[in-house]
Amino acid sequence: MKRLLRWVVALGALLYGRMLRRRREKRERRRIVPAGTPERSAENLVLALLGVATLFAIGFIVAYAEYSPRSLPNELLGICLGMCFLFIAAALAVVAKRLVVTEELEDKYPKVHEEEQLQVAEIVHESGGRITRKRLLMGAGAAAGGALAAALGTPAASLGPVWHTAPLDQSPWRRGKRLVDEDDRPYSADTIEQGSFYTAFPEGADKDRLGAAVVVVRLDPNGLQLPAARATWAPEGIVAYSKICTHAGCAIALYRKPTFPTLEPHAALVCPCHYSTFDPARAGAVIYGPAGRPLPQLPLLIDDAGMMRAGGNFSGPVGPSWWAVRDHKAD
Amino acid sequence: MSARTRLVAVAALVLFVGTGVALAQPQSGIVRPTFEPSAPSVQLGAELYAGNCATCHGIDGSGVSTPRRGAGGVLGAGPPLRRVGALAPDLYLRLGYMPLSSIHSEPESERVLLSDKEIRSLVAYVASLGAGPGIPHPAPSTGGISEGVHLFTEHCAGCHQVLARGGFVTGARVPPLQTVSPTQIAEAVRVGPYLMPRFSAGEISDSQLNSIIKYILSTRHPDNRGGWGIGNIGPIPEGLVAWWIAAPFLLFTCRVLAKRFRG
Amino acid sequence: MAERDPLEDPVHFVEERTAAAPLLRGALRYLFPDHWSFLLGEVALYAFIVLVATGIYLALFFDPSTAKTVYHGPYGPLDGQQMSAAYKSLLDISFTYKAGLLIRQTHHWAADVFLVSFVMHLMRVFFTGAYRKPRELTWIIGLLMLFTALPEGFLGYSLGDDLLSGMGIAIAYGVALSIPVIGGPLALAIWGAPFPGKPEFWSRMYIAHVFLLPILIGTLIAIHLALVALRHHTQFKESPRHTDRRLIGVPLFPGQTPRSLALMFAAFGVLFLLGGLVQINPIWQWGPYHPYLGTNGAQPDWYLGWLIGALRLMPGFDVTIGHITLVPNPFWGGALFPLFVLMVLAVFPWVERRFTKDYAFHNVADRPRDAPTRTAFGVAFLSWVFLIFAFGSADRLFVLYGLSYDIQLYAFRIGIWVVPAVLFVLTRRICRDLQAAERVEEIQHAAEEEVARERLEAHAGIT
């Protein structure tokens, strides 16, 4: 009996000692993240901020459901979603500053791994040990690879008429084409009044093509200074030029018309993008701005019915300048 | 002399000399007859014309084709006004474009120095110089906004900007149109003041003009359902908002978040 | 028995299947040097996240087609007008689908703010010398991202085929054409035909904007972040303990995580607030685009404003030899200028090394005053670009304030060279003076301490 009691006490002492040791070990085990003091007020603040954020989010859903697309104010949706995000951000900021410990720790900037660096180079070198004609093989590989790359790139030539740049010279204007307005009504010479400006297109053409739109103005025939070759291009002083600026391709949508030419700048066509200014009385010469090429002029004629028609194609390709723009004729 | 006294003396001198210089300037105000009748009349118009317009526009509106010194030493030159009717003078006078302070400056919408009676008188006088268009009476409510925006974009937006916020054409400022009246718009379209082209009824009919005016009036309160319109001129104010509203807020947030807290 | 930590189960699950616990443990305690200016790159990243999220939503509704259609939708002023399906789908997003306008505007604001924070981040990296060895690759990747983000944004706002952006595409066509020799074929390859090009051009814009360029930017971001993480972030010399070898910072967890998340939510919040409260790109007000239409006051988005300024500043000439047009005018402002800026920024780390003979590793960031010549050069170069950018608004300044456009033109043509030169000299002077002032203070401090110490010793000696 005594023996049993002794065994029980021994076992109890053993177990008790173990428990104590475990507790001590737990206490003495080093923390990785340092302990900080709790801040219940900060927690309450976070709860409040998250609560408001939740309300805003619900507000978004309610607003979305309640209003029709017509009457749904964009501001309301934006405020609900935006403020929800901002309140969550605020909650996280409070957590960052007051609910977690901000530690200042040390670490090393990584060094250069000299050993492994050398080994990489060694591995590559040693692997090539069996090859006797490295240069030749690499050359052959490069040639094959280069040719393959070229082959894979070749279908890109189908993207557009890459080798065949003739389309850049083309316009839908031909001799005899009638000038029509945006609603396809033909212009008669009588409707072209001095002091106004008109946009015209070739009859039947796609109006969105760069070579289609022209701007038409009537000037005093005595004030025109066109080159001799264009003497017949301006019947009754009516001139037409491509509406597409030769600088970068915007539409020349401004016309400056002096009320009193003695004191005011003379008539000019102006582009709204970079303010290139062209003189319609002097064959579209550039008089201001960054354009480097005069406006292509369209020869005009008035037919027997008094309607405006083109006398031929433009004096040159339309649109912004490119390599061969001065070398080609308008097509 | 103490510093304070010196200061006062200099200020007084500047004021005195300045006033003298100002008084010595040629008058930019209106020359009026001593006794003005209470109702507008062609006679009053003639007198106002003689005193304020003849220097540039000539006797009886014949025009002055080369600049020459007129009354008061003022340099004058101007287009003839015969056969402009009532339309042009009504536009120029009500906008404040005329009288022009210098023949080389661009007419701008300025404070109108003439009274309504005086304007009516002048308009009647100029209209009497020869047959010309009368003051139009547009009816924008009969127009269609859809047609208006289409025509405005085609004929006007290049200078006036698609939302009529004004713009630049080489040599002139194109005014915004939020404050002009329907009559003034109609007049301007028909006469093309200063460097603006003119559009006769053959190109823009009266009903089309009504649509255009309706659209221009709507640009006073554009559909800004996206929020604050920031001027309705596009990316420049948008960039300013990104740099001066979004960026400061984000920088402030970075600053707040990165300040260390020793806890 | 010890209590079972509920967190151990998922972590154990992951570790059994990935063997990633060491990586995770290292990542959790990865250190971030602590300065507010180091957070700017993150802001850009968060803007990018918003762009992707809102962009996906928009892509579910947008129709990238140039097919002509007539509008009969809720926006009255455009009723009965002909327009492309792309423009019409944007109108539908803005008017018919609830929250569509909010998402559209947030997307556009995110693009603008993405580039704002990008530029601020670039300036911080430059002026602190953080592009130096070993971070040159990170710098180059960043520049590649910037010059990918610029066309990405341009394509984004051009997809809608409205009057304003359509004019911009025409200008892009003009710039492409202006590239010497290859301009014609290049423009024809991109557009498929002379402007306005084939319908396939819209498909190309669309796929570039929603797939190709975002993938490229995303990949570059991943590489950029990996490079930053591998070499660790630079730090300022806030104490003698901050050195090129010893890094002092805040660990990712728990310190940095709530801060970065807070910044993320703040960025999201700002962008959605802007998307709701401030209108941007109201395409219904511009109307649909046609090549024969134009409006005054058309501008690109702010981050391309430097190009419109350059295009407007150039005097009007094409460089020709006989009938060959060697260099059309738009090339200078539209292509050479941005390329030049990119080149200067890209080679700068190596050029600086050449001049300073400094080939060492640098993990400590400079304060701007610590490198007077670099800071002066940066200020001068930035002012050059900024002045060119500012001229792009000269016409609106004229309309608003009456400042003559001609006078501005000539003033800027001179100013863009004179002002940077003056600022270079001035900035360098200021940096050097600040450094000198600090040295004087140091000497003063040391002297005061010396005096105090001697006094103490004398006092101790007496007693």
What's the pLDDT at B27? 43
| CB-based contact B257 C43, cutoff 8 Å | no
pLDDT reported for residue C346: 98
Whether residues B118 and B187 fall in one domain:
no
Asked if B69 contacts B75 with a C-beta cutoff of 8 angstroms, the reply is: yes
Question: Cβ separation of B159 and A260 shorter than 8 Å?
Answer: no
Instruction: Mutation target for C interface from B245, B257, B259: give the one with most C CBs within 10 A.
Output: B257
| C-alpha–C-alpha distance, residues C116 and C120, integer Å | 6
Rounded alpha-carbon distances, angstroms, from residue B126 to A153, A235, B49, C382: 74, 35, 9, 58
* Nearest CB neighbour to C323, from listed A67, A101, A327: A327
Is C43 within 8 Å of C36 (Cβ atoms)? no
Q: Are C324 and B186 contacting, i.e. CB atoms less than 8 angstroms apart?
A: no
Kindly tell me if the per-residue pLDDT of A26 is higher than 80.
no
Q: Domain check: are B108 and B189 in the same one?
A: no
Residue B263 pLDDT exceeds 60:
no
Interface residue C105 vs chain B (CB under 8 A): yes
pLDDT at C35: 93
Overall number of domains in chain B:
2
Q: Does A266 touch chain B (CB under 8 A)?
A: no
Q: Are C392 and C299 in contact (CB under 8 A)?
A: yes
- Residue B193's nearest CA partner among B51, B89, B57, B118 is B89
Residue contact C174–A168, C-beta within 8 A: no
Q: In the structure, what pLDDT confidence band is assigned to residue B18 with cuts at 50, 70 and 90? A: low
pLDDT at B123 over 60: yes
Question: Whats the size of chain B, residue-wise?
Answer: 263
State yes or no: pLDDT of C2 exceeds 60. no
Give the ranges where A173-305 is alpha helix by DSSP (H): none
Report the Cα–Cα distance between both ends of chain B, in Å, rounded. 66
| pLDDT beyond 90 at C349 | yes
CB atoms C296 and B173 under 8 Å: no
User: What pLDDT, in 10s, does the model give residues B55-105?
Assistant: 999 988 999 998 888 777 788 999 999 999 999 999 999 999 998 888 888
Within 8 A of C121 by CB-CB distance, chain B residues are none
Smallest CA-to-CA distance from C234 within C343, C382, C116, C131 is with: C131
Q: C396 to chain B: which residues are within 8 Å by CB?
A: 233, 236
Residues of B in contact with A195 (CB under 8 A): 192, 197-198
Place of tokens 């021994």: A10
CATH number at residue B205: 1.10.760.10
Cα C350 to Cα C359: distance, rounded to the nearest angstrom: 9
CATH topology of domain C36-366: Cytochrome Bc1 Complex; Chain C (1.20.810)
Average pLDDT, chain C: 95
Locate A273 and state its tokens: 């993008």
What the block records as the tokens of B233 is 């001129």
* pLDDT at residue C463, as a whole number: 61
Q: What is the pLDDT of residue B109?
A: 85
For chains A and C, count residue pairs whose Cβ atoms are closer than 8 Å: 309
Write the residue in A32, A170, A249 that is nearest to C174 by C-beta.
Answer: A249
User: Residue B35 falls within a domain, yes or no?
Assistant: yes
Q: What chain B residue is nearest to C301 in terms of C-alpha separation?
A: B235
C-beta separation of B263 from A101 below 8 A: yes
The phi, psi pair for A147, rounded to 5°, reads -65, -40
Averaged pLDDT for residues A270-277:
97
Chain B residues with beta carbon closer than 8 angstroms to that of C74: none
pLDDT of residue B72: 74
Peptide bond into C134 cis (omega under 30): yes
* Closest residue in B to C249 (Cα–Cα): B260
Q: Residue A106 and residue B36: Cα distance in Å, rounded?
A: 92
**Most C CBs within 10 Å, among B159, B218, B241, to test the C interface:** B241
Q: Chain C, 188-247: which have a CB under 8 Å from a chain A CB? A: 188-196, 198, 230-232, 241, 244-247
φ, ψ dihedrals at A179, nearest 5°: -85, 125
Peptide bond preceding C338: is omega within 30 degrees of 0, i.e. cis? no
Torsion of CA B9, B11, B13, B14, to 10 degrees: 160
Per the CB < 8 A criterion, the answer to whether B148 and B215 are in contact is yes
Q: Quote the CA–CA distance of C2 and A127 in Å, as a whole number.
A: 54
How many Å apart are CA A46 and CA B177, to the nearest integer? 52
Residue C79: how many other CB atoms lie within 10 Å = 15
* Closest alpha carbon within chain A to C174: A248
Whether residues A105 and C29 touch (CB distance < 8 A) is answered with: yes
Contact A257 B197 (CB under 8 A): yes
Residue B247 belongs to some domain of the structure? no
Model confidence band, residue A303 (pLDDT cutoffs 50, 70, 90): very high
Q: Distance from C19 to chain B by nearest Cα, in Å?
A: 34
Token code pair at residue C389: 């950018």
C170 touching A, CB under 8 A?
yes
Residue C408: φ, ψ to 5°: -60, -40
The beta-carbon neighbor of B66 closest among A197, A262, A275 is A262
ipTM of the complex as predicted: 0.93
Q: Which of C55, C48, C73 is nearest to C159 (CA)?
A: C55
Look at residues B63, B64, B115, B112 and name the one whose alpha carbon lies nearest to residue B92. B112
Structure tokens at C105: 């505007």
Query: What are A209-262's pLDDT values in tens digits?
Result: 999 999 999 999 999 999 999 999 999 999 999 999 999 999 999 999 999 998
Are residue B106 and residue B145 in the same domain, yes or no?
no
Digit-coded pLDDT (tens) for C419-441: 999 999 999 999 999 999 999 99
Q: Contact, C83 vs C61, CB < 8 A? A: no
C263, C270 Cβ separation under 8 angstroms:
no
Beta bridge partners of C251: C31
Query: Hey, is the C-beta of A220 within 8 angstroms of any chain B C-beta?
Result: no
Closest partner residue to A253 among B157, B198, B256, by Cβ? Answer: B157
Question: Which residue of C lies nearest to B146 if distances are taken between CA atoms?
Answer: C77
3-state secondary structure of B76: strand
B233: nearest CB among C78, C80, C396: C396
How far, in Å, CA of C79 to CA of C73, rounded? 7
Q: How far C321 CA sits from the closest chain B CA (Å)?
A: 30
With CB atoms and an 8 Å threshold, state whether C273 touches A83. yes
- Identify whether the C-beta of residue B157 lies closer than 8 Å to the C-beta of residue A253: yes
d(CA A63, CA A59): 6
Give the pLDDT score at B112: 87
When CB atoms are compared, the residue of C246, C324, C329 closest to A290 is: C329
DSSP E strand boundaries for C77-175: 82-84
> Does residue A101 sit at the B interface (CB-CB below 8 Å)?
yes
Residues 6+ apart with CB under 8 A from C303: B239, C112, C115, C119, C149, C150, C153
Put simply, the chain A residues between 114 and 173 with a CB less than 8 A from any chain B CB are: none
- Residues in chain B with CB shorter than 8 Å from the CB of C37 are 254
Model confidence at B26: pLDDT above 50:
no
Torsion angle defined by CA atoms of residues C443, C448, C450 and C451, in that order, rounded to the nearest 10 degrees: 140
Question: In this structure, are residues C247 and C33 in contact, taking their beta carbons and an 8 Å threshold?
Answer: yes
Distance from CA of A21 to the nearest CA of C (A): 12
- Is C335 or A31 the better-scoring residue by pLDDT? C335
Instruction: Name which of A36, A89, A191 is nearest B202 (Cβ-Cβ).
Output: A191
pLDDT of residue A20: 81
Q: By the 8 A CB rule, do A74 and C99 touch?
A: no
What does the pLDDT read at residue B259? Answer: 63
Query: Domain containing B104: what range?
Result: 29-128
Q: Which residues partner with B171 through β-bridges?
A: none
* Nearest residue in B to C35, CA atom: B258
Same domain, B46 and B90: yes
Query: Which of A245, A260, A278 to mutate to probe the B interface, most B CBs <10 Å?
Result: A260
- Asked if A68 and C210 touch (Cβ cutoff 8 Å), the reply is no
Q: Does B241 fall in a domain? A: no
Q: Decide: C106 and C275 in contact? Cβ < 8 Å.
A: yes
B11 pLDDT above the threshold of 90: no
- pLDDT score, position B25: 46
- Nearest CA distance, B109 vs chain C (angstrom): 13
Which residues of chain A does B66 touch, with a Cβ-Cβ cutoff of 8 Å? 262
Residue B95 lies in a domain: yes
- Rounded to 10°, the helix A74-94/B247-258 angle is 20
Whole-number Å distance between alpha carbons of A15 and A12? 5
Beta-bridged to residue B173, according to DSSP, are: B168
Domain range annotation of chain C: 36-366, 367-463
pLDDT band at B261 (very low <50, low <70, confident <90, very high): very low
Q: Which tens digits make up the pLDDT trace of C207-251?
A: 999 999 999 999 999 999 999 999 999 999 988 999 999 999 999
**Residue-level pLDDT at C71:** 96
**Is position B65 within any domain?**
yes
Identify the DSSP state of B245. Answer: I
Nearest to A259 among B193, B226, B260 (CB): B193
Give the model confidence (pLDDT) of C102-138 as tens digits.
999 999 999 999 999 999 999 999 999 999 999 999 9
Query: Are residues B146 and B115 part of one domain?
Result: no
Look up tokens 């511009």; give the residue. Answer: C286
Whether residue B72 is found in the same domain as residue B146: no
| DSSP assignment letter at A293 | S
Q: Cα–chain-centroid distance for residue A206?
A: 27
Confidence band of A28 (pLDDT split at 50, 70, 90) = low
User: In this structure, is residue B233 part of a structural domain?
Assistant: no
| Gap between the Cα atoms of C423 and C446, Å rounded | 34
- Whether residue C255 lies within 8 A of chain A, CB to CB, comes out as yes
CATH number at residue B33: 1.10.760
CA distance B193 to C384: 40
Residues of chain C found within 8 Å of residue B220, distances taken between Cβ atoms: none
Q: Give the span between the Cα atoms of B238 and B236, in whole angstroms.
A: 5
Chain B residue at shortest CA distance from A93: B257
In chain A, what percentage of residues exceed pLDDT 70? 98
CB atoms within 10 A of CB C237: 14
- At C1, the pLDDT band (50, 70, 90 cuts) reads very low
* Gap between the Cα atoms of A57 and A86, Å rounded: 11
Question: Is the pLDDT at A52 greater than 90, yes or no?
Answer: yes
What pLDDT, on a 0 to 100 scale, did the predictor assign at position B43?
92
Q: Is the pLDDT of residue C54 over 90?
A: yes
This prediction has a pTM of 0.92
Q: Taking the mean position of all CA atoms in its chain, how far away is CA C41?
A: 10
Question: Most C CBs within 10 Å: which of A109, A162, A277, as the mutation test of the C interface?
Answer: A109
- Tell which wins on pLDDT, C262 or C462: C262
Contact B210, B142 (CB under 8 A): yes
pLDDT tens, B180-200?
999 999 999 999 999 999 999
Given an 8 Å threshold on Cβ–Cβ distance, is B235 in contact with C299?
Answer: yes
- CB contacts under 8 A, C 19-78 vs A, are 29, 31, 34, 74
Integer angstrom CA distances of residue C355 from C371, C376, C380:
13, 15, 18
Q: Do the Cβ atoms of C394 and C412 come closer than 8 Å?
A: yes
What is the identity of the amino acid at C335? A
Closest chain C C-alpha to B36 CA, distance in angstroms: 37
Rounded (5°) CA angle A216-A219-A225 = 105
CB neighbours of C304 closer than 8 A, spacing ≥ 6?
A: C150, C153, C154, C168
Contacts of C245 in chain A (CB under 8 A): 108-109
Nearest CA distance, B67 vs chain A (angstrom): 9
Task: For CA atoms C260, C265, C271, C273, give the dihedral sign.
Answer: negative
